[in-house]
Amino acid sequence: MTTATTPVRTPERASAPAVTARKHRPGLRRRLELALLLGPALLLFFGFVLVPIGIAAFYSVFNWNGFGPLDDFVGFKNYSDAFGGTVFQSAIVHNLIIAGLSIVVQLPLSIGLALLLNRKLRGRAVLRALVFAPYVLSEAITAVIWSLMLQPNGFADQTLRAAGLGGLVHNWLADPGIVLYTMFAVITWKYIGFGIILLLAGLQGVPAELREAAALDGASAWQTTRHVVLPLLGPTIRIWIFLSVIGSLQLFDVVWIMTTGGPANASTTMATYLIDHGFKRYEFGFGSAVAVILFVICFVFALLYQRFALRRDTQGALTRMVG
Amino acid sequence: MRSGKFGLSMGYLAAIVVVGVTVVPLLFVALGGFRTTAQLNTDPAGLPGPWVFDNYASVLGSSAFWTFLGNSALIAVIATALAVGLGSMAGYALSRYQFKGREAFYTLFTLGLLFPLGVATLPLYLWLRQLGLLETFWGVAIPEAAFSLPVTIVILRPFMHAIPGEIEDAAVLDGTTRLGFFWRILLPLSTPALTTVAVLAFVTSWNAYLLPLLVFNDAGHFTLPLGVASFQSQYSQDTARVLAFTALSAIPALAFFVLAERRIVGGLTGSVKG
């Protein structure tokens, strides 16, 4: 390979015989190159992304504990069992609550904070870095940090009492009526910075002239924000909603580490249910069915969202989205 | 114009609140590691007094922490190298070769964006078991690379496509093969985009919890996220030590973030904005 760059070889390679030699079999050479370039990635992608999903669909129609032959064909029984079970039903509801809360609480909060922070503040760079810091921590570390902070009579409780808010103290991780909201708060802590940074980047794209023009026309700050800035943030907001909903549907790490879905399944999500049954209880057929359900829910949401919400953004908006 | 004095002070107020909420938990962990569990129990929100260095010293002196750190690093490096290596080759083929089915291949990869690893973990576990890859670093790194391919290709293809064709023509006239052009000219020119995708793949692998959880049983193979979670349940009575362990585990990610902030933030926001 390196020889081609040396001055001695260059004229030789550019000479007539070399060119004709290449002309003789351009098709074959090109095909070999393509296979060499594209083949490994395709192999990896098929082998470890598509094949497992196919395998799951196959296992999902069997009653199978993960060992021995696959001989107990049960058809769609695993699916009807999953949907018929109250725990899985409540898991779906929990995922939907988290997704709904993200949109109703996190989104306005992120937009509000981004609008407030979108000023020439001193220490802007440091601020952005700090706001973004929790996003780079793993969910595992986040979960451990918050488990420790939320211990009964721990840091959070003591701080609340010191602030005169002792009435707010709860059994954060052990009260079935509270635990799901605790999970939501932890997720919000971890991901709000991501939303803010995304929206701040979106705000950079709003031309100052537009705001000035609106202000000259007599629009109040609120009117300018509502009718000029927010519509221009539309694409950013739509992508954020997409990422947030997909993330909510797959919520696992934080819940598994903090409560393993408890107490009494009060914080079970589809993913913790899947791992609890499929992996811990060796119900691999059933777990595979749950995996397929989770996959189909995400897939259908993604397609519908792409079709109806993202379509008006730049073409290929989905393909530019990054998790 | 909108940034009047009132707006500016509201901005600072918001900044203080956001920074406080972000930083306080991190400070609690970092400072808690310098206290004793007894101190923590009597006054959870207090400051270290006296400062205790035993927790950090014992974590840093234990082999467990360094093992987890090494495993995480090794797996993340393999996953990143695979994703960026194979992804850039595929990105080159999909951006600068004309062939039938090119767009179909590209769409196939973009579909992968819809299958996050979490959804496929259980079947992946069964598949890895069949392949005999359980309890191996490859068993985690290869699937992570595979699931990072879509993002990698989606970012690299337009970037490589935008590099002027004249450069390629000139290279071919100088006698370079197309593969030589890829290796010696296109890849160096793509460094910014390659850095972005590498950082994304690395962070994703570094923070992964579910896949390593299923693949590894042997604590000697644990990655940091697994290690932190297991350390917490193992030493649940010794809060101070757990805090020290957690604080130390957070440092690599935070340090990496400080070094690569521009790439991470730019990669995420840039790719979302298009």
Identify whether the C-beta of residue B215 lies closer than 8 Å to the C-beta of residue B139: yes
pLDDT of residue B267: 66
pLDDT of residue B135: 94
Structure tokens, B38: 């007894």
Question: What's the whole-number average pLDDT of chain A?
Answer: 83
Please report, as a single letter, which amino acid is at residue A259.
T
Candidates A84, A81, A85, A87; CA nearest to A264 is A87
pLDDT of residue A35: 92
**Interval A29-52: pLDDT, tens:** 888 999 999 999 999 999 998 888
Residues B214, A279: C-beta atoms closer than 8 Å: yes
**Interval A123-179: pLDDT, tens:** 877 887 888 888 889 999 999 999 999 988 888 888 888 888 888 888 899 899 999
Asked if pLDDT for residue B268 goes beyond 70, the answer is: no
Asked if pLDDT for residue B269 goes beyond 70, the answer is: no
Q: Which of residues 70-109 of A touch B (CB under 8 A)?
A: none
**Residue appearing with tokens 């690599």:** B252
Asked if pLDDT for residue A20 goes beyond 50, the answer is: no
Lowest mean pLDDT among A22-31, B55-64, B96-105: A22-31
B43: closest CA of chain A, how far (Å) = 8
B152: closest CA of chain A, how far (Å) = 9
Residues B25, A149: C-beta atoms closer than 8 Å: yes
Structure tokens, A276: 């609890």
Residues A279, B122: C-beta atoms closer than 8 Å: yes
Residues A189, B29: C-beta atoms closer than 8 Å: no
Question: What's the whole-number average pLDDT of chain B?
Answer: 87
Distances (CA, A) of B154 to A37, A243, B108: 16, 16, 11
Identify whether the C-beta of residue A302 lies closer than 8 Å to the C-beta of residue B114: yes
Structure tokens, A164: 């005169």
Put simply, whether B175 touches A (Cβ < 8 Å) is: yes
Kindly indicate the confidence band of residue A26, based on its pLDDT and cuts at 50, 70 and 90: low
Q: Which residues of B164-202 are buried (b: 16+ CB within 10 A; e: fewer)?
A: eeeebeebeeebbbbbbbbebbbbebbeebbbbbbbbbb
Q: How far apart are CA A29 and CA A21, in angstroms?
A: 11
CB atoms closer than 10 angstroms to residue A104:
10
Identify whether the C-beta of residue B246 lies closer than 8 Å to the C-beta of residue B252: no
Q: Output the DSSP codes for A95-159.
A: HHHHHHHIIIIIHHHHHHHHHHH-S--TTHHHHHHHHHHHHHS-HHHHHHHHHHHTSTTSHHHHH
ipTM: 0.87
Q: Which of A5, A6, A119, A245 to mutate to test the interface with B (most CBs of B within 10 A)?
A: A119
B103, with CB counted inside 10 A (0-12, 13-18, 19+), is exposed
Torsion on CA atoms B102, B104, B106, B107, rounded to nearest 10: 160
**Interval B160-219: pLDDT, tens:** 998 888 888 888 888 888 889 999 999 999 988 898 889 889 988 999 999 999 999 999
Q: Which of residues 5-24 of B touch A (CB under 8 A)?
A: 7-8, 10-15, 18-19, 21-23
CB atoms closer than 10 angstroms to residue A308:
9
Kindly indicate the confidence band of residue B1, based on its pLDDT and cuts at 50, 70 and 90: very low
| DSSP SS3 for A62 | strand
Chain B residues touching A138 at Cβ < 8 A: 206-209, 224-225, 228, 253
Mean pLDDT of all residues in B136-145: 95
Q: How far apart are CA B125 and CA B244, in angstroms?
A: 32
Q: How far apart are CA B10 and CA A35, in angstroms?
A: 58
Identify whether the C-beta of residue B227 lies closer than 8 Å to the C-beta of residue B64: yes
Chain A residues touching B150 at Cβ < 8 A: 45
Identify whether the C-beta of residue B211 lies closer than 8 Å to the C-beta of residue B121: yes
The percent of chain B in helix, strand and coil, each rounded to the nearest 5, is 80, 0, 20
Q: At what angle do helices B137-161 and B63-96 cross, to 10 degrees?
A: 40
Chain B residues touching A323 at Cβ < 8 A: 113, 116, 151
Q: Which of B37, B126, B131 to mutate to test the interface with A (most CBs of A within 10 A)?
A: B126
Residues B123, A151: C-beta atoms closer than 8 Å: no
Distances (CA, A) of A196 to A191, A229, A247, A321, B205: 9, 15, 17, 16, 24
Mean pLDDT of all residues in A75-102: 93
Q: Which of residues 175-194 of A touch B (CB under 8 A)?
A: 189, 193-194
pLDDT of residue B149: 94
Chain A residues touching B119 at Cβ < 8 A: 53, 250, 291, 294-295, 298
Candidates A174, A303, A168, A315; CA nearest to A242 is A303
Residues B228, A141: C-beta atoms closer than 8 Å: yes
**Interval A269-304: pLDDT, tens:** 999 999 998 888 888 889 999 999 998 998 888 888
